[in-house]
Amino acid sequence: MKSNLRFIFIFIILSISISTVIILGSLIWSVQPEDLIRNLADHEILFAIELSVLTGLVSTALCLCAAIPAAYALARFDFRGKRFFSTVTNLPLTLPPLVAGIALLMFFASNPAGKVLEDFGLHVIFTPLGIIVAQFFVNAPYLIRVLNGTFSGINPRYEHIARTLGCTDAGAFWRVTLPMARRGIISGIVITWSKAMGEFGAVLMLAGATQMKTETLPIALFINMSTGNLNMAIAAATILMGISLMFLMIFDHMENGSASHW
């Protein structure tokens, strides 16, 4: 009975893996290799790659700056309304990206804060800055949740010991907690950047789909599919798939390294 169960489980995972490879491989197999290479080198795709990488890096850095203190506060401190703030912080995780994008669009279009930003020359709607804002709004709650789990898994006794040895609260945080949370932070950065590179719904609503202006890789895929340029759309999809595979390999390597460390 045990051997039969083992065979069934292995058969299921093999079936899922083979199906995934066949389905994703159909993207590449549907075009000629020379057409794929030519489209990958097209100036539109190169622009989309550059914009996706740049906005992804900036939004991930902003997510990290916000997520570390927010996650640490939720993990370590007790304060009035903590459960409420935790729920509100996680709310964007449950929203469809299109809903988040529409909410951002309405905020910056009709809210006085949007007008103030425009007075300072910060135009968010239908600009590359809007891409960064949309990516940040969607991905910051995810990183906060990941780092909250990371900080919660670190025994606060280490910080108490550091304080008894002369460290201030800030010193214990920088010298003890952050180094111990290094793997979780790096893993969170990798996944957040990957999510930012592939963000579509919120970006489309706030930044629009303007060719060679707000054209990230997902937007390039959408534009070219809409205009019937299948080869260019497949090129964008192939790059996104390659990026996702690379990030997944990095994440798995770090997870395995963390497991072996413990």
Q: Are residues 142 and 89 in the same domain?
A: yes
State residue 119's pLDDT score. 78
19 and 114 co-located in one domain: no
Percent with pLDDT over 90 in the chain: 43
**Residue 2 sits in the same domain as residue 42:** no
Same domain, 16 and 126: no
Domain that holds residue 128: 33-261
What's the rounded mean pLDDT across residues 89-116? 87
Same domain, 115 and 150: yes
Measured CA to CA, the distance from residue 148 to residue 139 in angstroms comes to 14
Q: Based on the domain organization, do 96 and 138 belong to the same domain?
A: yes
pLDDT of res. 245: 81
Kindly tell me if the per-residue pLDDT of 123 is higher than 60: yes
Cα angle for residues 197, 202, 204 (degrees, 5° grid): 85
Q: What is the mean pLDDT of residues 105-129?
A: 84
- Residue 57, C-beta contacts closer than 8 angstroms, at least 6 positions apart: 193
> What is the reported pLDDT for 27?
73
Whether residues 10 and 110 fall in one domain: no
Identify residue 145 by its one-letter amino acid code.
R
- Total domains, the chain: 2
pLDDT in tens, 206-255: 999 998 999 999 999 999 999 888 888 888 888 888 887 887 777 677 66
143 and 123, same domain (yes or no)? yes
185, 252, 253, 257 from 262: Cα distances, Å: 17, 15, 14, 9
**Residue 262 pLDDT:** 45
Phi first, then psi, for residue 95 (nearest 5°) are -80, 140
Could you tell me if 21 and 79 lie in one domain? no
**Are 256 and 145 within one domain?**
yes
Confidence of residue 259 (pLDDT cuts 50, 70, 90): very low
Choose between 45 and 249: higher pLDDT. Answer: 45
Do 176 and 253 share a domain, yes or no? yes
Rounded CA Rg of the chain: 22
Beta strands in 22-80 (DSSP E): none
Res 180: pLDDT: 92
pLDDT for res 258: 53
Pairwise CA distance, residues 231 & 94, whole Å:
34
Helices (H) and strands (E) in the chain, counts: 14, 0
Taking only the tens place, the pLDDT of each residue in 30-43 is 767 777 778 778 89
Q: What is the dihedral of CA 115, 89, 144, 159, to 10 degrees?
A: 110
Please give the structure tokens belonging to residue 210. 């303007």
CATH code, 212: 1.10.3720.10
d(CA 127, CA 216): 12
Is there a single domain that holds both residue 3 and residue 117?
Answer: no
Lookup: tokens for 236: 């964008």
